[in-house]
Structure 1
Amino acid sequence: MTIADRRYIPLQWAETLEQMDGLTVHAVAGDKVHLVAFSMGGYIACRFALANPDQVASLTLIGFCSAGLNQQELQQRQLIIRALDKGQFRPMSAQRLAMMVNPHSPNHQFAQQVVREMEQDLGGSVLKYHLIAASSRPDLTEDLAQAAFPVHIIASECDEVAALGAMQTMHQAIKHSSMQVFSGAGHMLPLEQPKALSLHLQSRI
């Protein structure tokens, strides 16, 4: 299936949660759409979908758990924010990168390179704003469970940010959801297995 009208929401332009919401509203432009979102973008997409259910044909969440971030991830983000407040922007550590990209994924070198390039391109200020804006997330699972639009959940077997167990719990709580698990991938599934993910999305939307 070819989707002729595809719209990208440039969240990197936003510094606040309200600006991210505004960019989403602008991109949707009052139409009924299939929302596909990854990681932090999943939070923004859920906010829009729950506020504007009549404009949502379906909601696909990749590497995003509606229950929010686990305590380990929140603590890690607070450490990064404190360092950025002091002007200490450094490339993420090898340990942090291994949390993002499964080092055993066949495409891990490419994925790691792209993550590093994004890091350099966006810089510390964008990272700081996004961490502050979208880290404290309420649990949206119950609201999604009551929503009328279809919810498609895509998880990675080795994701250390949106852990598979948490994603399965989310799927069980949202009775009308579907779930697809990609084996051998980490959090950066769109970079680790882009072709397989693209084929799956085309089959669902």
Structure 2
Amino acid sequence: MNNSQNLPLVMLPGFLCDPRLWADVQRDLRIEGAVHLIDFKHCKNLQDMVGQLEKLETPRFHLVGFSMGGYIAKIFATKFPDRVASLTLVAVNVGELSEREQTSRMKLAGMLANVQYKGMNEKEALRFIHSSSADNPHVVQTIVEMSRAYTSEMYIAQMNATLHRQDLSAELAQLAFPVLIVAGNDDHVVRLPTLQRLHELVSRSKMLILENCGHYVPLEKPNELAKAINDFVNSRGA
């Protein structure tokens, strides 16, 4: 029997998200260990974010990260590989942000320093999801409501914390824990070919591509994602 099946599962949200992101996924999880939902909303910097995981009392756990949370997961996993039983990366950017993207984000941060962030509206949320999810008010409203829980200060802190990203692909390829990579086939934030290249580089990884799915995989395809996590965590490979 796989002795890692009863280990906790730790789930990390993405930018402008919080534990509500995982509610639908969590309902379909069939794992023996406890589930910990991390919230980065009040973290001031990258060290605070990684520190949320460092201070967990359990010495070893399965780690799941969505988007920005996946980057935090990669940092922790490469820094503390002995604490990671398995790593699941959901719609995660690979590599560094381009200079253009960094400049754009810094410009936005400058604007938000003078006004109060009020969250996304429904039209903005639709840019990140597949057209088949656009008619699902639960998906759209959850994205909007999570973003509206953020202040300008929270937005800027979270953005600055992950602005200068490192490409940790080579480091991941050298480590022993199994990796699951989950992608939406119509994700306009994280392009599928970049995740396919990561899958090729990390020889021990598995990859799942979800059809008719945009960037917000945990909201758009919660049942499929939960099944993938169940199978992965409960498999002999994890």
Q: Normalization by structure 1: what TM-score?
A: 0.89
Compared CA separation, residues 149 and 15, structure 1 to 2 (3 A): same
Q: Report the secondary structure of 2:165's partner residue.
A: coil
2:45–2:158 CA contact under 8 A, matched in 1 = yes
Deviates more, 1:154-163 or 1:93-102: 93-102
TM-superposed deviation, 1:93: 6.3
Q: C-alpha deviations, 1:125-157, integer Å up to 9, x for none?
A: 211111110122011111011111111101111
Give the aligned partner of residue 5 of structure 1. 34
Q: Distance in 2 between matches of 1:82 and 1:162?
A: 25
Compared CA separation, residues 100 and 22, structure 1 to 2 (3 A): same
Q: Does 1:62 align with 2:120?
A: no
TM-superposed deviation, 1:70: 5.1
Give the aligned partner of residue 176 of structure 1. 204
The one-letter code of the counterpart of 1:61 is L
Give the aligned partner of residue 70 of structure 2. 42
TM-superposed deviation, 1:97: 2.5
Q: Report the secondary structure of 2:41's partner residue.
A: helix
Aligned pairs for 1:47-196 (under 5 A) are 47-69=75-97, 73-87=101-115, 89-92=117-120, 96-105=124-133, 108-196=136-224
Q: Report the secondary structure of 1:100's partner residue.
A: coil
1:157–1:185 CA contact under 8 A, matched in 2 = yes
Q: Distance in 1 between matches of 2:100 and 2:138?
A: 26
| Structure 1 residue ranges (4+ consecutive) displaced by more than 6 angstroms after TM superposition | none
Q: Report the secondary structure of 1:184's partner residue.
A: coil
Compared CA separation, residues 149 and 176, structure 1 to 2 (3 A): same
Q: Report the secondary structure of 1:112's partner residue.
A: helix
1:81–1:128 CA contact under 8 A, matched in 2 = yes
Compared CA separation, residues 37 and 174, structure 1 to 2 (3 A): same
Compared CA separation, residues 178 and 69, structure 1 to 2 (3 A): farther
**May I ask how many residue pairs the two structures share in their alignment?**
204
Give the aligned partner of residue 200 of structure 1. 228
Q: Distance in 2 between matches of 1:107 and 1:146?
A: 43
Give the aligned partner of residue 26 of structure 1. 55
Gaps of 5+ in 2: 1-29, 234-238
Q: Distance in 2 between matches of 1:172 and 1:97?
A: 31
Percent identity between the aligned chains?
30
Q: Cα RMSD between the aligned structures?
A: 2.1
Q: Distance in 2 between matches of 1:35 and 1:68?
A: 22
Compared CA separation, residues 98 and 82, structure 1 to 2 (3 A): farther
Q: Distance in 1 between matches of 2:140 and 2:107?
A: 22
Q: Normalization by structure 2: what TM-score?
A: 0.78
Q: Distance in 1 between matches of 2:101 and 2:219?
A: 21
TM-superposed deviation, 1:112: 1.5
1:65–1:170 CA contact under 8 A, matched in 2 = no
